[in-house]
Amino acid sequence: MSHIKHLLQQLKHRAFLAGTDVQKIRQARQLRQNPEFAQQLQNLQKHFELPTLPYTSGIWAVAMVKNEQDVIVDSIEHLYAQGVNQILVVDNLSTDSTYELLQELSQKYPLIVGRDHEPAYYQSAKMTVLSDLALAHGAQWVVPFDADEFWYGTDGTLAEVLQQGVHSSGIMQARIHNQFPQPDGTWLIDTQAHHDVKVAFKPTKYSVVQMGNHAVLRPGVPETEKLMIVHRPWRSLEQFTRKIRQGARSLELTNLPQELGYHWRVLGESSDAELEELWNKLVTGQEVPEVVAWRPKGELATLSVKTPQRWSEISKLLS
C-alpha cells in the first residue's frame, strides 16, 4: 500500500509540474503578444546592428554592455576559459573604448560584436532578442551575462556543468557573491550570497528573459547550487558615479514601472558629493543605505587573485 501511495504522490507531483509548465508557456506567449513588449521586440530589429551570425552548436553567452572598458576584457576571457562556445555582445552607445576592445577580442575569440542604438533600458526585450538569435544559430544553452559578472560551475567549469545538465529541467540558477575593491588595491569577496540570483537556460522559441536576467519564462523547475557568479559591481569612484547616472538616464527614457530599477532611479537623484560619500563607506566597510543594492551583506574575505579560475578557489573562503 505504501508503494502505491508513493506512486500516486509522484503522479500527482508530475501532473502539477506539467500544469505549471503549461502556465509558463502561456505566460511567455502572452507577454510576447503584449502590444507594448511586442513593439519593443520589433523596434530592436531596427536598433540592433549585427554582422552575419555563424551557426555554432553549444553554449552561447549573450550581453548588452555600455562603458565597461575596465572590466570587459577580463569578463570575456573568463567566459572562454570556462568553456563557452560563442559570445554575442551588443554595445549600447558606449562613449569609452568598450566597443574597440570588443572588436579586438573578436579577432582572438569566437565573439560576435554588434551595436545597440536604442538608448532606453529595455533590458528584458533586448536580452530576449539576443537569446532568440542564439537559439536560431545553434545555442543549446544561453548564459545571459553582464560585463561585471564572472560565471563558474561549482563542480567543473561553467561549460562542464551545463553539458552535464543536458537532460535537466532547462533552467539553472546562479548564486551571486559580490566582490569589492579596497583602497590598497586588494579585492574582497562577500562570504554571504546576494539575495538575487541569475539564470542560464535552454532556449525555446517562446522563452522570455526577465528584467535583470534574474529569471526566465519557460518550462522547468530551476536547479540550484550548480552555478555561481562573482559579481564586480563597483570598481572605482568614477565607475560608481557613471554607472548610477547612466542607469538612471536609461530608465528615464522608458515607460517601465517605477519599481523596476528603483535603486538606479533613487541613487540617480544623489549629488556627486553624496555619491562620493557612499563610495568611501563602501570601500571602508561602513554601513550604506539599502538602496545601494550591491553592498556587502556578510563577512568579507580576501581573494589571493582578482579573478580565480575555478570556484573551488573561492568556496574554501566561504565555509
pLDDT tens-digit readout, 59-100:
999 999 999 999 999 999 999 999 999 999 999 999 999 999
Q: What is the pLDDT of residue 157?
A: 97
Q: State yes or no: pLDDT of 258 exceeds 90.
A: no
Q: Where are the domains of the chain?
A: 28-231, 237-318
Give strand pairing partners of 208.
217
Q: Are 156 and 232 in contact (CB under 8 A)?
A: no
Binned at pLDDT 50, 70 and 90, residue 5 comes out as low
Q: Are 65 and 92 in contact (CB under 8 A)?
A: yes
pLDDT tens per residue, range 109-167: 999 999 999 999 899 999 999 999 999 999 999 999 999 999 999 999 999 999 987 66
pLDDT winner (highest mean) among 157-171, 192-206, 292-306: 192-206
Give me the percent of the chain exceeding a pLDDT of 70. Answer: 93
DSSP for 102-147, written as a single string: HHHHTTTSSEEEEEE---S--HHHHHHHHHHHHHHTTEEEEEE--T
Q: What is the pLDDT of residue 253?
A: 86
Q: What is the pLDDT of residue 12?
A: 45
Q: State yes or no: pLDDT of 237 exceeds 80.
A: yes
Q: State yes or no: pLDDT of 273 exceeds 90.
A: yes
Q: State yes or no: pLDDT of 11 exceeds 50.
A: no
Give me the percent of the chain exceeding a pLDDT of 90. Answer: 73
Rounded to an integer, the average pLDDT of 220-236 is 94
SS3 at position 255: coil
Q: State yes or no: pLDDT of 14 exceeds 60.
A: no
Helix axes 272-283, 237-252, angle to 10 degrees: 130
Give strand pairing partners of 144.
62
SS3 at position 152: strand
pTM over 0.85: yes
User: Residue 260's closest CA among 132, 158, 149, 125?
Assistant: 125
Helix axes 123-136, 35-47, angle to 10 degrees: 70
SS3 at position 304: coil
Q: Are 212 and 196 in contact (CB under 8 A)?
A: yes
Q: Where are the beta strands (DSSP E) in the chain?
A: 48-49, 58-65, 86-91, 111-116, 139-144, 149-153, 171-181, 187-190, 197-201, 208-209, 216-217, 223-231, 300-302
pLDDT tens per residue, range 281-290: 988 888 899 8
Handedness of CA 275, 147, 62, 199 (dihedral sign): negative
Count of CB atoms situated within 10 Å of the CB of 236: 12
Q: Report residue 300: phi and psi, to 5°.
A: -105, 135
SS3 at position 90: strand
pLDDT tens per residue, range 22-56: 888 899 999 999 999 999 999 998 999 999 999 99
Binned at pLDDT 50, 70 and 90, residue 13 comes out as very low
Q: What is the pLDDT of residue 283?
A: 84
Q: Are 143 and 150 in contact (CB under 8 A)?
A: no
Torsion region of 276: left, alpha or beta (phi above 0 gives left; psi -120 to 50 gives alpha): alpha
Q: State yes or no: pLDDT of 18 exceeds 50.
A: no
Q: Are 96 and 67 in contact (CB under 8 A)?
A: yes
Assess if CATH 3.90.550.10 describes domain 28-231.
yes
Handedness of CA 185, 294, 41, 140 (dihedral sign): positive
Q: What is the pLDDT of residue 319?
A: 67
Q: Report residue 248: phi and psi, to 5°.
A: -65, -45
Q: What is the pLDDT of residue 118?
A: 95
- Greater confidence (77 vs 319) lies with 77
Rounded to an integer, the average pLDDT of 236-253 is 91
| b/e sequence 169-205, b meaning 16+ C-beta within 10 Å | bbbbbbbbbbbbbeeeeebbbbbebbeebbbbbbbbe
